[in-house]
Amino acid sequence: MQQDFFDVPGHLVSPSQLNIPKARELGLALETGRVEYAQLIETKKALEDREVVVFEVGVEIPQLMVHPIQPRERISVTFEVTDDYIPKTEALRCDFPQVPHLNLHLQEFPRYLCIYADRYEDVKRRWTAARFVQSIRDWLALTAKGKLHQTDQPLEPLLLNFFGNITIPCDLSAHEETPDLLYVTKPMISIADDKPFLIAHRQASSQNALDYLVSVHRSPPHVHGVINSYPTSLEKLAIMVQSTGLDLLQDLRDRLKLWHKEIPNLQDLKVLILILFPRTRIKGGPEERVDPWTFWSEASLHVLGSKLGVWEKRSEKLGLLIPTDSTRKGADISVGVLNTAYELTADLASVLNGRRTDKKIHLAAIGQGALGSQVVLNLARSCFGGTWTLIDNDILMPHNLARHALFKEFIGSPKADGVAMLANEIVSDFKPFSTLRADVLSPGNLEPSLRDALQKSQLILDMSASVSVARRLAMDIQEGGRRVSLFLAPTGEDLILLAEDRARETTLDAIEMQYYRAVLEDQRLKDHLNLKEGQQRYGQSCRDITFTLPHNLIAMHAAIGATALQNLIDLPQASIIIWRSDKDQNVQCINVTPKPVVRLKKGDWTIVTDESLLEKLYSFRQERLPNETGGVLLGAFDVERRHIYITSSLLSPPDSLELSTGYVRGCKGLKETLTQVGKSTNEMIEYIGEWHSHPPSSNTAPSNYDIQLFQWLTQTMGGEGLPAVMIIVGEHGEYSIFVGEMLEDKISFSKEAPFE
């Protein structure tokens, strides 16, 4: 079958007569057969020192093609002397199809192939004739299969050189009423460039406003591409879009008449034309996307109306022509194409960040300091979660700028409001951040608002770095979903995440205690909570003190924390995670599995411990049988809430007396050990009482000696206003815990015997 091909201008030369290095390399490689699956047709010298290589290339095509590519296609490649641009690659077959991933130029034919997605500066480093031909073969093969086109790429041809750029409201792509008019501003920071960057808005703005307006038009839905060549005039543009059923010139005339009456002060504004092309996969099918095209013109409304036969200027006034002179079609109004992009949407932001989720929840974030502000803005860029309430009553001070996400224009402003303002400006179709300027510990008359914000939150994120705030959230406020605490160790080198389970069976206060136990017992956490030296005063108050801490550590941990929170949302269980960084920025992740919590009510005190601690005591007893053993209990008192946390224990000191008939705890090295416990946990864990075991065949009822010991313990602890605490460990997982008075309170695990 005879194929018709476009002719290439220029005069014939041999490949050896070519002067442009890449043209010569390609021509000689084809002539000598050094490029597989390709055959040289001709080489030419064209105008303006351009050189052209024409060849045929073999294409691997499938049996079922999406686009009709031939097994052999004729290609021309035009090289420039300057080598500043990708060589112009055209398919010379006269009936080469309209396919995705074409470049747009003045003529629709020959089709201009878009071979590379990368910048030519990056391509040139690895460019060879053989690789270039293979890229063309790959392009043709993938096009035949319908696999070349990216899902986020417009279905129209691509434009190599845009006249400029414009962003348009994201909601224009929706199936809703399209506005006739948009207003234009320039970027906050403009650059001196021949190619303008414009921002279109639904509402007029006095800030950065430009003397342009955008006339918006929407074509009927269609299947095939419309803009197949570069229109050079308004008349040619109108002819192109006519096939869709859009009468662009009549639309413009009607609007000009309306604007002439209603908005006379717009006559000197220049006009941009935005056309929205809804696309369907099949004729009559649903709209799948809306491709926007914006066309630049230097013509003002005044000039445009005259060129389209709407009015004429007489005696310094515009007069409408009746009837309209429809012979004037804008042939002498030049247009250029602007690269058009929708504003960022929440869905696209989520996709670009690698997250697709239908889970939309409300979150409350308490604490918008250095860590909190950066974590929130990291999550805001991916539109994580859903809606947020940022809770903080602090204001931004000058010294905060060293590590905070806000900048100096926000000094003196509430931190929460500043962070919310920035976060709400990231995407255009969703403003998810609200604020509450409240102190969680002393909200005053904002207590109802605080509880309401927490009640509607499926996740409450505490980044206040305050134990008091975490305790209040865990124990005093029952509204809302699971609590998560995210904070830095005193050195700033470690990040800690404590998370309740989704059902809140393991609450944040109990998880905090298990975290302290890990600090005491896991060698990987040695020195984890050591205090950092280097306090700096930033004001005159005795409390105006901050720590020296590099911002890069805050930024690193904010990124880690944001990722961890995104992962946490899908996990129902409680979590304890510590990320430790070293001086070389290596990060070690340490996971600690929280154990089931055991709670007991004893008088007006609540005892909180967990199965891991009870397992440990039972294990110590088993190791020392048939003798009794014991030691001291470690934990914490929350006197305000009447809670006693039994967190860990120490082995029997070496000078202890362990007999089958009794036990006397020694004290060798105990004082030093307790001092180290306080130092290792930043004084959060302390001595709280005693424990000992009973021998086989004995219950956990206190002996006379136990009663005497408890009396001594009561006097000792009472001196500090604290209750005595004692645990007696018996057989088959039985325990008796005594608080304040020697009344037996037995715990039995004998049915399941989990510790034997």
pLDDT in tens, 312-323: 877 777 788 888
Query: What CATH class is the domain 597-748?
Result: alpha beta
Residue 26 has a pLDDT of 97
Residue 457 has a pLDDT of 95
Contacts of 383 (CB under 8 A, 6+ apart): 346, 347, 349, 350, 353, 426, 427, 430, 432
Least confidently predicted of 252-261, 425-434, 565-574: 252-261
pLDDT tens, position by position, 564-605: 999 998 899 999 999 999 988 899 999 999 999 999 998 899
CA 622, CA 626: separation in Å to the nearest integer? 8
Residue 751 has a pLDDT of 29
Task: Using DSSP, state whether 273 is helix, strand or coil.
Answer: strand
pLDDT band at 742 (very low <50, low <70, confident <90, very high): low
CA 62, CA 97: separation in Å to the nearest integer? 16
Average pLDDT of span 230-243: 89
- DSSP β-bridge partners for residue 638: 643
Whether 330 has a pLDDT exceeding 70, the answer reads: yes
User: At the topology level of CATH, where does 349-592 sit?
Assistant: Rossmann fold (3.40.50)
Do residues 188 and 176 lie in contact, with contact meaning Cβ atoms separated by under 8 Å?
no
Mean pLDDT score across all residues of the chain? 88
Residue 464 has a pLDDT of 94
Least confidently predicted of 306-320, 437-451, 671-685: 306-320
The ranges of the chain annotated as CATH 3.10.110 are 11-150
pLDDT band at 159 (very low <50, low <70, confident <90, very high): low
The ranges of the chain annotated as CATH 3.40.50.720 are 349-592
Nearest in space to 101 (alpha carbons), one of 131, 141, 74, 129: 141
The more confidently predicted of residues 557 and 315 is: 557
Nearest in space to 26 (alpha carbons), one of 112, 136, 104, 115: 136
The ranges of the chain annotated as CATH 3.40.140.10 are 597-748
pTM: 0.83
Q: Which two tokens stand for residue 89?
A: 């690659």
- For domain 11-150, the CATH architecture is Roll (3.10)
Task: Using DSSP, state whether 612 is helix, strand or coil.
Answer: helix
CA 186, CA 200: separation in Å to the nearest integer? 9
Do residues 379 and 390 lie in contact, with contact meaning Cβ atoms separated by under 8 Å?
no
